[in-house]
A and B are shown apart, each in its own frame.
Chain A
Amino acid sequence: MTAVFLVFIFVLTIFLGFELISKVPSTLHTPLMSGSNAISGITLIGALASMQTSHHGFTVFLGTLAVVLATVNVVGGYAVTDRMLAMFKKKDKGGAQ
């Protein structure tokens, strides 16, 4: 039953994703990519949850490596997207709108 439930979520989210993303103007495609890239670092949540104290050795090694890489993805992705979006300004007025 859980599997069916998860597939249900998956399919609905794909449709929602299509709806949301097709409204993004081409001007913002690069920030969209790096921003969604940061979201794909969500693997971090799975990696964190897998770091149980009862685990040892190789599992811990793999888990820690996953945490490092996913954190790079999340932190770097959001930071670089913010840096880019801060540059998009409207005419006349200075400062990010």
Chain B
Amino acid sequence: MSLNQVGINFVYVLSAALFIFGLKMLSSPATARRGNMISALGMLIAITATLLAQGLDYRWVLAGMLIGSIIGTAGAYFVKMTAMPEMVALFNGFGGLASLLLAWSEYHQNPAMVPVISIIAALSVFIGGVTFTGSMVAFGKLAGKISQQAVVFKGQHLINAGILLAAVGASALFYLTPASLIGYLLFVVIILVALAFGVTSTIPIGGADMPVVISLLNSYSGLAACAAGFVVSNNILIVAGALVGASGIILTRIMCKAMNRSLANVLFSGFGTATAKKPGEEGHKGEIKPASAEDVYYILEAADSVAFVPGYGLAVAQAQHVVKELGDLLEANGTEVVYAIHPVAGRMPGHMNVLLAEANVPYDQLVEMDDINPRMETVDVCVVIGANDVVNPAAVDDDQSPIYGMPIIETFRAKTVIVLKRSMNPGFAGIENALFYGENTRMYFGDAKASIQALVAEFKSGN
């Protein structure tokens, strides 16, 4: 029953093809689920073929796989959809750590490595370590266990540069004597330095920039697997790791573009800590016009088209189901309803889409920023729910603003804008939002979920 090395490698080619097909089918929501299953099938085949090789220590293999499967399944089925970003960060961190451990165990077993491989082993544990602690910090921030604010301190860049230098230095020395005791100590130093770097490089990044960080860490976890693949010369690790690495890089680029910032700016600037102007300091033209549930009901009731613009506040308030209920009532009333979603709304790429899909909003009602902006003038009412910076007109017309140039959903051009908001506190990046003072804006204060429930009640009693 045991397969030889050539046979196993042929099976790996099949797995790689299935991964590629699976990713290709992710290009449409209609085929995506099957695509994911095909990708999983590729993984299953690769695992099975690997297990058929000779001389494996099955006790530990099976025990490890059993424990891992239980944890993974439990996590996957009990996580709430609103907690998805932290879940992805957590799984991502595990993948990085696994790559680190694999490279370490390979080195521990065969310390006399070929020079090129020793460098890649160092690289593999470094990326794996950064992925692990970086993901844990991202997890902590997303789950609210540590401050979501950008944590900046004096000399941060200097410390990070020092850590990187230490990593490069240790790797260079390690390259010279991998098989000695000093080599082993250096290897451990590289691991520790990597773990530290993951923390110090992620901690200065604020919550609103999390979509970029998660994408980047996703890319790292693929590259870590890839590097581990070079260490154990396994081509399926290289292929799959490179696919994930490429995927993460593309997502990172899309997220940066959606914020009109460079990756370097996201990683190093500690955005949102220094830019905050004190609220009320600037004289705003116009005034705030608060609206009651009844006022909002009359506006919505008379509208022919309504666009909901959700942001992170929707996730916090868990309001996706009531929003869908309100959307259904509006549709029953003859109103055209869409959900306009900014690429960086929420805490990870596509976060809002998943929440609305959970609430049974059909995906053809989810429209992208570039589709809604050209026809914004024809939208009767925009309902902004817990979004702030992604609808801030300062990005279009105030070249002094830190977010100037960032593409936004241009809700201020709609006939009427209703903004659901807890209070007048500035948004995450601490930037004043002129939208709230707009001529055509009504502010509807309160918890997003309770506010929308009140609207639903108005509709039900009105009919």
Contact = CB atoms under 8 A, between A and B. Distances in A.
Interface in A23-49: 23-49
A31 B75 contact: no
Nearest to B370: A26
Given A20-B243, A33-B88, A35-B22, A46 B32 contact: no
Dominant SS at the A interface? Answer: helix
Contact of A31 (B37, B232, B350): B350
A44 B47 contact: yes
B431 interface: no
Given A9-B238, A20-B243, A49-B50, A66 B102 contact: yes
A82 to B, nearest CB: 6
Interface residues of B, number: 110
A72 to B, nearest CB: 4
A62 B104 contact: yes
B225 A43 contact: yes
Contacts of A89: 357, 360, 362-363
A68 B238 CA distance: 20
B216 to A, nearest CB: 11
Interface residues of A, number: 83
A87 B102 CA distance: 35
Contacts, number: 370
Contacts of A88: 29, 32-33, 357, 363
A21 B249 CA distance: 10
Interface string B268-310: 0000000000000000000000000000000000000000000
Contacts of B451: none
Interface stretch (B92-100, B174-182, B400-408): B92-100
Contacts of B198: none
Contacts of B221: 37, 40
B353 A28 contact: yes
Given A74-B72, A75-B68, A30 B351 contact: yes
Nearest to A74: B43
Interface in B6-33: 12, 19-20, 22-24, 26-30, 32-33
Contacts of B214: 33
Interface-centre pick from A14, A37, A62 (highest chain B CB count, 10 A):
A37
Contacts of B353: 26-30
B33 A82 contact: yes
A20 B23 contact: yes
B171 interface: no
B98 A3 contact: no
Interface string A53-78: 11100111011111111111111111
A76 to B, nearest CB: 3
A16 B94 contact: no
A85 B28 CA distance: 11
A60 B53 CA distance: 17
B438 interface: no
A76 B71 contact: yes
A21 to B, nearest CB: 4
Nearest to A62: B105
Interface string B28-53: 11101101110110010011001101
Interface in B314-363: 341, 343, 348-351, 353-354, 357-358, 360, 362-363
18 contacts: A16-B246, A20-B24, A25-B368, A26-B341, A29-B350, A33-B218, A37-B91, A46-B225, A58-B108, A63-B101, A65-B98, A66-B101, A67-B61, A72-B94, A80-B91, A82-B33, A87-B354, A92-B362
